[in-house]
Amino acid sequence: MPKSDIAKLVSECLNRCRATGYTLATVARFVDELLVTGQPAEDACQVESIMRHFLNDIHGADESVKGESVAGNEKPLVIDDRD
């Protein structure tokens, strides 16, 4: 599948995650739907992998902003002086 089609699927999955607020369950359901509708398993796995990396990056950023440790490393509180 072309990268642009994978990007569209990832975008659709992100939209569903925002709408439901249940990101991990929504990703799992979305990947299952892809498989049921005949998408190749390789493409479904690629969408799932991209989503997991994306969610991991967001989770890490959230912890960093809160000043919590990430993977055992203490992260300083991020302060944004912009208005």
Decide if 45 is inside a domain: yes
74 part of a folded domain? no
76 located within any domain = no
pLDDT at 39 exceeding the cut of 50: yes
Burial category of 53 from C-beta neighbours within 10 Å (exposed 0-12, middle 13-18, buried 19 and up)? exposed
Model confidence pLDDT, tens digit, residues 1-21: 788 899 999 999 989 988 988
Could you tell me the CA-to-CA distances from 47 to 7, 9, 26, 32, 42 in Å, in that order? 8, 7, 12, 11, 9
Indicate whether 47 belongs to any domain: yes
61 part of a folded domain: yes
Count of structural domains within the chain: 1
pLDDT value for 61: 56
72: in domain:
no
Task: Tell me if 16 is assigned to some domain.
Answer: yes
Residue 59 has pLDDT above 80, yes or no: no
Range of the domain at 45: 3-66
